[in-house]
Each structure stands twice: as structure tokens, then as C-alpha cells.
Amino acid sequence: MVKSKINKIYPPATIGVVGGGQLGRMIVFEAKRMGYSVVVLDPKGNSPAGQVADQQIVAGFEDIGAYRELAGKTDVITFEFEHISVEILELIENEGVKVIPSSRTLNVIQNKYKQKTMLKKIGVKVPKFSMVCNLEDLKIEFQRLNQKAILKTCTNGYDGKGNVIIKDVADLENAYHIFGEQEIFIEELIDFVKEVSIIVVNNDSGVFFYPVVENVHHNSILIKTLIPASLSHEVFHKIHIACEKIVEELNDSGVFCIEFFVDKNLEVLVNEIAPRPHNSGHYTIEGCETSQFEQLLRVVCGMPAGSTQLKTPCAMYNILGNQSVDGEYVVSELDAVLNIPNCYFHLYGKPETSNLKKIGHITALDDTVEAADYKGKKALELLTVRKRTLVSAVSNKT
Amino acid sequence: MVKSKINKIYPPATIGVVGGGQLGRMIVFEAKRMGYSVVVLDPKGNSPAGQVADQQIVAGFEDIGAYRELAGKTDVITFEFEHISVEILELIENEGVKVIPSSRTLNVIQNKYKQKTMLKKIGVKVPKFSMVCNLEDLKIEFQRLNQKAILKTCTNGYDGKGNVIIKDVADLENAYHIFGEQEIFIEELIDFVKEVSIIVVNNDSGVFFYPVVENVHHNSILIKTLIPASLSHEVFHKIHIACEKIVEELNDSGVFCIEFFVDKNLEVLVNEIAPRPHNSGHYTIEGCETSQFEQLLRVVCGMPAGSTQLKTPCAMYNILGNQSVDGEYVVSELDAVLNIPNCYFHLYGKPETSNLKKIGHITALDDTVEAADYKGKKALELLTVRKRTLVSAVSNKT
């Protein structure tokens, strides 16, 4: 299959974005700056992206009429969230609508089992994995993986949702039943020394790499990203070789994030691919000449890729909801954070928070990664996410 | 009168912005990034700022009900355009609404004659000026100013609107009648060597200066800004002294732009003050640690000022409409501009263009002002503003 040529579209053309989360919001900011119009499709009204877009179509990701409405109002469609309907995307593509990346790519990536099978086929190292159709399969495979494994849903998993780590035979049955009727697979738990990722841009004229960055997760949720990752040349080389194989195989335009484990033997294994801008690429807004969001717009509008050059070391910390606040919130003690030089504060406008929900992020820039990391950590500690009380509501009327 | 202390307001508090133009749009981008909500008041629907704000109240700048609605929906009000009703602002302030800067400041600045009188009173040099009540006044003053003068309306002038240059006695009568019933004054035409400006931030904790920049106008419309201006220490010093006197006299919180003429004797004379972010400060988005728009938000929300440090020399070029397009338009040949490294492209989403209308700007960064200027100029030449035809409309559906 050959990558199809992208038409050039100029402002004020309209971009359709499926998904109204924070990634969509940051896509909209860049699109509006460049003079494009944007229509967002998301089931939740007043979504982070919908708030800043020209229009939001409030409808489900399985609503074919909504996709057709989106197509009718826009010149090209992209997505910021992969748990959407591949079938409907394919259908509207067949009706002549341009979707970037294509439904074909989403189809391979959306299903993690299919994704890993593809990676294995093209000779890219991945953790050992196999499909689990029943409890017997699971027991056998768990032994084969030396009793350290993770169970994952094939589809719809993200931010730790859809993942269960198993470290004891006694947990197998419970873990298995959590998933109910969902398709699942089992994967070897990698004893990694680092988790890293890279944003890769693929357009009509070539493939462009952002720096490799180091990610720190807690319970499968990204806590921080350090930019650039400190790795040997050998490891960088392995990562780039794997990326080249993947983009060659996908053979599609878009912005992709590829996440890797680096193990004790300095082997690199792909954890997963996202066919869109990624949380670990937020630093590109202040840290690079071109952000990952502008880059996606350049791709979908047929414009040349921008420079992926890193301007300075950075650290990105996610602002997560905590256990003490469930519902409406206020982010206070901002003053102290805003007093830190070269530290940029982003909130996503989500109306409500809950424990571990991503509600914003901080990007700190400095001369070294260590200094940026220290600054970002301090900034995050200074912030307070509070319940919105009657008193705070008085001065927060929306 | 003592500057009143500003309350701290934290996201998701709501900011009200009077005026829906490009300055408002760039205020909204920063406010939304920081998690604030924004309601815009502007008579034209789908305004540049309204497109990205949470809500736009579509109503005139003299509509008291609209200001009250805005006040009811927001925690603090600011403005991006000074030709609005001082009386209504004062009225709502008396009803307990916080307006930053205050109506008192707007009152002094909005009327250019009053503004110049204030400047003269505090010992800040300005071009010679005097009120013109009739044609006789005009004839006498024109002679006194050596037959090189400019007639200006006291209120509502901007981007060359409301200004008429007179260089010949024969033109006096025609020029006078152009203004009809409007209050006007005459001002000495300064034979300047440079026009420069500076963005000044005043908040509860002090006064902060951005770099002094050089502006090039054509027919009173800003064509480009070069950052920083090349001036002697002596001239910088005079500018800073004048700014300090002005902010001390205004004694109000806000972001101000002060424009100066530098004459042949290297004297500095204030041309005018704007009580808001300014076209000549657009470069702060990519060129400084904190943009003038974020700075205004920090002021109105009672947050500390951010660093005004310049990161690198810049050049800002306005993208203006041309004579060949009146109405809907497409900005094409973007590809070439996007191929220029460190060159940032902004379009304001105005639905229609006309000759000399500001529809966007380009900020080019480089190691020297000359290199940035060259890059910005080239980028502007590469862009094409075309009439939106049937063909282009097919791929531009909004």
C-alpha cells in the first residue's frame, strides 16, 4: 500500500479533530494561531479542546452521523485519541474524506495485540506476549513468562486503565475475571532500566525525529519526562533503527510517539506506539522550535515539517488530581510557581478532577536536565489542587 | 489616588475582556493555557478573540447591559481596545467590579489631548500641540508649528484613522472639515530619526520593562518592529526616566505601551501611550520568557510579574491586507514561510480582509536583528493573500 499524497490546505481551511482532550486542545491552540478553523468531535460538551475550537460536535465516537457532520464541515480530519471507530473512519475515507493518519494505521495501532504482532513481524523487539483466550492459556503463559507478567486488554487501554500486573499465581484467577468479555493478552513484565520515548513525524518529504526523552511512570501514569534522555550512542542507534522500521511499515503520514523499554542488557523493546501527539511530547511547546502539535497540523495541511531541534534541556511534570478532591477544583498557590523563571504552566480546563486525572502540566527549561528537573519538581510541589468551595466559587463564577 | 491592591484569582476563575480583536485573541490563548476561562465583549460576532474564548457577548461598547452581563460572568475585567466607554467602566467599578487598568487611567489615555496635557504637566517631553476649536485657531497654530503639522481627533483614532498630515496652507481648510464635529488638536510633525516603543508592566510589587524596540510605520500603520532597538545608552536612559514618570503618574496596574520619537538631537518625545498590550509587543510571544499577554493576565489575576528577558533578537512584520482583496481571503504559499527556521506565523482568524487591515504577523528570531529582519521580510514577501474563490472555497468550508 502506498502512502497517499496530501493536499495542501491553507488558512482559513478547517481541521476536524476527533477527541476533545488536552492533546486536542493543544492542537487547536496551534491551529488557531496559524489561522485555521477547527471543529472538534467529542461526547463530552465543554471539552478541553472544544472550549477553544470554533465548534464542538457533541456526539459519541461510534456515531456515524457525527463523523459525517464533521467531514462536511472540515477539509481534513485527524484524531487525538485512538479509541475511536476504525470502521467509521474507513467508511468516510471511502466516501472521499481525507483522514490523517489513515484508518488503516489506526486499525493496526488501536489493537495492542495486533500492534505487537506487526512489530514482531518486522523484526522490532517487543516484550514476549501471547493471546489469552481462557484461564488455562493464562496459567500456562504465566509460567512461561517466569511469573512476572502484565495482562492487557487488546483495545481501549490507556493511562493504566486496562492493565493488570500479576506477580503471583494466586492472583491469576481474579485478574482474569476483571476483564470479563474483553479480548486480552499477556505480556512479559520487563525489568527495565529506563523507559524512553520519541516523537516521530512522517510526511510526504521524509521522516523527522524529535529527541529521545526519558519517562517516569507511576502505576502506568506518566509522572515526568526528562529531555533529552541520557543514553549511550549504541542505545540511541537501536532506537532510531527500530523507529525507521516502524514508520516504513506503517507507511503513513502523521505524528507518532514510540515508547521503549531499555533493559539491563541495553536492549530496546517497543512498549507501544501512539498514532498522535503524546503526553511525553508536551515539552516540545516551549522546548523545541516546532511543537508536536504544530507539526501534526503541518502534516495534515500538506505543509513542510518544522525543525525538531531542542532549544534547551527540559523537564515536564504532569499535574494530576489527588485523592482529596473529586469534582470541581481550584488550582491555587500559583504565585510561587509563576515566580520560577522559565517554567511554563498549562491547565487543560477540565471542569472536574479526580484522583490521578491529568489536569495540566508544567514544563521547566534550564541549562541542564538536572536543573530543569529540580525546577519542575519544585513547581509541582508548590501547586495546590483544592476542592472548589463556596468561598472560592464566589471568585470563580464559570 | 492610591493604586488599589489586586485580589489573587486562581484558575478556573473567569477573565472578562472588552474588545475581541487580535490582542484579545492572544490574551485568550494565554489565559486558556493557564486554565482560566474567558468571556469577551465585542460588537462583531465570531471575533478573533471570541473564536477562542469560552463565550463572546455580542454587543456594542456603549451597551451598559452588556458590561453588566460581562461583570456578572467574570471575576475581573480588562480591555484590549481603548475606544470603549469610560463612563460605563466607572459605573460598574462603583458597583464593585474590578477593572484593570481602571477607568481613571483609561479616561486620561483615551483622549489624546488629555493624555498629552498630562504628559506635559509631569515634565515628559511631547511634540508641541494645541487644541483646535475653529479654522482660525488652526491657521494660527499651523504657522506657529512652521507649517509641518498633524491634525488628530482627541478620541477614537488608531492605525492612522483620525490623523491628517498637513504640509501646506492650501490644505488647511479641507483637512479641518474632514473632522466635522469631532474634537481635534494640532500637533507638531516631528522630524524623527527613529520611532521606538517599550512595553511596561506595573503591578503591586513594582514596574518591569521589556526591551526598547524600533518601529517602522507607513501611513501611520505599523509595518515592522525590530527588537531590540539600536540606541545609545543616553537615549535608553531618557526613555526609562520618561517611563518611570508616566507609570508613577498613572499609578495603576496593567500592561502599557509607550511610544516615542527620537529626534535628530537625540531627544525623546512621547508619541502616545496605550493602556494594554500592543502590536509592537507581539514579539514577546516567542522572543521573551513571558509574553505581554501572559503578563497582563498575571497582573489582573494578582500573580507576580514574569521575566521580561529577551531570549534572542527578533523582527516582527505585520501581515496586512492589500488592495486586490476586499472580503473573504485565503493565505497561501505558506509552505515557503514554514520552511524558514525560527520564523513564527500568526493569523488572527478575521473573516474578511481589506486594504491595510492587520490580519496577522510574523515573528522571526535570529542571532542578530539584521538577520531576523531579513528573514521576516523574506517570509512576508513569500506569503500571498488571495481572494477566496469558488475553487479555494471548496477546500475551505467554514
Kindly state whether residues B209 and B183 are assigned to the same domain.
Answer: no
Q: Does A289 touch chain B (CB under 8 A)?
A: yes
Give the SS3 label for residue A259. Answer: strand
Q: Which of A35, A303, A330 sits opposite B335 (nearest CB)?
A: A303
Per-residue pLDDT tens over the stretch A202-248: 998 899 999 999 999 998 899 999 999 999 999 999 999 999 999 99
**Is A218 annotated for ligand binding?**
no
Specify whether B227 is located in the same domain as B340: yes
| Structure confidence at residue A158 (pLDDT) | 77
**A314-320 sheet: strands from edge to edge:** A268-274, A254-263, A192-203, A206-218, A221-227, A314-320, A358-365, A343-347
User: All 3 cell numbers of residue B166?
Assistant: 498637513
A38 falls within a domain: yes
In this structure, is residue A346 part of a structural domain? yes
CA distance B23 to B25: 5
The verdict on A175 and A249 lying in the same domain is no
Residue B372 in this model has a pLDDT that exceeds 60: yes
How many structural domains comprise chain B? 3
A217 assigned ligand-binding residue: yes
pLDDT of residue A392 exceeding 70, the answer is no
Give a yes or no: residue A118 inside a domain. Answer: no
**pLDDT for residue B233 is more than 70:** yes
Q: Predicted confidence band at A159 (pLDDT cuts at 50, 70, 90)?
A: confident
Do residues A88 and A22 share a domain? yes
Partners of B272 in the beta sheet? Answer: B259
Smallest Cα distance from A71 to chain B, Å: 10
Asked whether residue B5 is assigned to any structural domain, the reply reads no
DSSP B171: G
Confidence (pTM)? 0.95
- The answer to whether residue B331 sits within a structural domain is yes
Pick from A11, A73, A345: CB nearest B347: A11
Q: For an interface test with A, which of B33, B36, B375, B386 has the most A Cβ atoms less than 10 Å from its Cβ?
A: B33
| pLDDT > 90? residue B158 | no
Distance from CA of A156 to the nearest CA of B (A): 28
Query: Are A14 and B396 within 8 A, CB to CB?
Result: yes
Q: Who has greater pLDDT, B162 or A237? A: A237
Residue B205 touches chain A, beta carbons under 8 Å: no
Same domain, A229 and A146: no
**In which band, very low, low, confident or very high, does the pLDDT at B373 lie, cut at 50, 70 and 90?**
very high
DSSP A307: P
What pLDDT is stored for residue A393 in this prediction?
Answer: 44
| Other CB atoms within 10 A of residue A87 CB | 10
Q: Return the sign of the alpha-carbon dihedral for residues B295, B377, B214, B18.
A: negative
Cα separation of B64 and B70, whole Å? 10
Decide if A332 touches B, using CB distance below 8 A.
yes
Task: Say yes or no: A153 and A209 in one domain.
Answer: no
Partner-chain contact B331 A51, CB within 8 Å: no
- The reported pLDDT for the residue numbered A220 is 87
A179 and A296 together in one domain:
no
pLDDT for B6 equals 85
Cross-chain Cβ contact B304/A8 below 8 Å: no
Closest Cα in chain B, distance from residue A123 (Å): 35
Domain membership of residue A8 (yes or no) is no
Report whether B109 belongs to an annotated binding site: no
Q: What percent of chain B has pLDDT over 90?
A: 87
CB contact under 8 A, A330 and B29: no
Quick check: B347 contacting A, CB < 8 Å?
yes
Contact residues on chain B for A346, CB-CB shorter than 8 A: 33-35
Of A35, A335, A349, the CB nearest to B35: A349
pLDDT at A162: 82
User: B231 and B333, same structural domain?
Assistant: yes
A378 in a structural domain = yes
Largest CA distance in chain A: 60
**B253 in the same domain as B239:** yes
In a domain, A121, yes or no: no
Decide if B342 and A289 are in contact by the 8 Å CB cutoff: yes
pLDDT at A103 over 70: yes
Q: What residues contact B310, with CB distance under 8 A and at least 6 apart?
A: B210, B211, B227, B228, B287, B288
Residues in chain A within 8 Å Cβ distance of B47: none
pLDDT at A395 over 60: no
Residue B157 has pLDDT above 50, yes or no: yes
Q: Which pLDDT score, from 0 to 100, does residue B389 have?
A: 80
Q: What pLDDT is recorded for position A175?
A: 87
**Within an 8 Å CB–CB cutoff, is residue A12 touching chain B?**
yes
Average pLDDT of span A56-75: 98
From chain A, pick out residues whose CB is under 8 angstroms from the CB of B17. none
Mean predicted confidence (pLDDT) in B364-382: 98
* Chain A residues lying within 8 Å of B303, measured CB to CB: 334-335, 338
- Predicted local confidence at residue A4, as pLDDT: 65
Assess B7–A contact: CB distance below 8 Å, yes or no.
Answer: yes
pLDDT, residue B397, reads 41
The grid coordinates listed for A105 are: 494505521
pLDDT at B60: 97
**What's the pLDDT tens digit per position in B304-316?**
999 999 999 999 9
Query: Which pLDDT score is estimated for B395?
Result: 45
Nearest residue on chain A to B289, alpha-carbon basis:
A342
Q: Is A330 on the interface with B (CB under 8 A)?
A: yes
Report residue B4's pLDDT band, with 50, 70 and 90 as the boundaries.
low
Q: Does B397 contact A at CB distance below 8 Å?
A: yes
C-beta atoms of A397 and B345 within 8 A:
no
Q: Cβ separation of A52 and B32 shorter than 8 Å?
A: yes
Q: What is the mean pLDDT of residues A265-272?
A: 97
- Domain termination site, one of A136, A163, A188: A188
Identify the burial level of B121 via C-beta atoms within 10 angstroms of its C-beta, where 0-12 means exposed, 13-18 middle and 19 or more buried.
exposed
pLDDT of residue A333: 86
Do residues B271 and B180 both lie within one domain? no
Instruction: Answer yes or no: is pLDDT of B177 > 80.
Output: yes
- Does pLDDT of A264 surpass 50? yes
Q: How many CB atoms lie within 10 A of CB A297?
A: 26
CA distance A338 to chain B (A): 7
Q: How far is B348 from chain A (nearest CA, A)?
A: 6
Q: What is the pLDDT confidence band of residue A163, given thresholds at 50, 70 and 90?
A: confident
Separation between Cα atoms, residue A227 and residue A217, nearest integer Å: 15
CB contact under 8 A, A35 and B330: no
B98 has binding-site annotation: no
B163–chain A Cβ distance below 8 A for any pair: no
Percentage of chain A beyond pLDDT 90 is 87
Rounded to a whole number of angstroms, the distance from the CA of B123 to the nearest CA of chain A is 35
Q: Which of A143, A171, A188 is the last residue of a domain?
A: A188
**A270/A206 same-domain check:** yes
In angstroms, rounded to a whole number, what is the distance separating the alpha carbons of residues A306 and A304? 6
Query: Averaged over B280-296, what is the pLDDT?
Result: 98
Asked whether residue B173 is marked as a ligand-binding residue, the answer is no
The alpha-carbon gap from A12 to the nearest alpha carbon of chain B, in Å, equals: 6
Q: Per-residue confidence at B28, pLDDT binned at 50, 70, 90?
A: very high
CB–CB of A398 and B14 under 8 A?
yes
Which domain range does residue B169 map to?
Answer: 128-188
Q: Which amino acid is at B53?
A: A
Q: Are residues B183 and B199 in the same domain?
A: no
Contacts of B302 in chain A (CB under 8 A): 335
Give the closest of A10, A14, A331 to B330, CB-based.
Answer: A10
**Average pLDDT of span A190-201:** 97
User: How close is the nearest chain A Cα to the Cα of B232, in Å?
Assistant: 29
Nearest-CA distance B339 → chain A (Å): 6
A211/A208 Cα distance (integer angstroms): 10
Does the pLDDT of residue A290 top 60, yes or no? yes
User: How far are the Cα atoms of A2, A33, B393 from residue A96, in angstroms, in the given order?
Assistant: 17, 28, 17
Whether chain B has a CB inside 8 Å of the CB on A33: the answer is yes
Listed residues A79, A99, A119: the one ending a domain: A99
Mean pLDDT of the A73-77 span: 97
Q: In chain B, what residues touch A33 (CB-CB under 8 Å)?
A: 29, 345-347
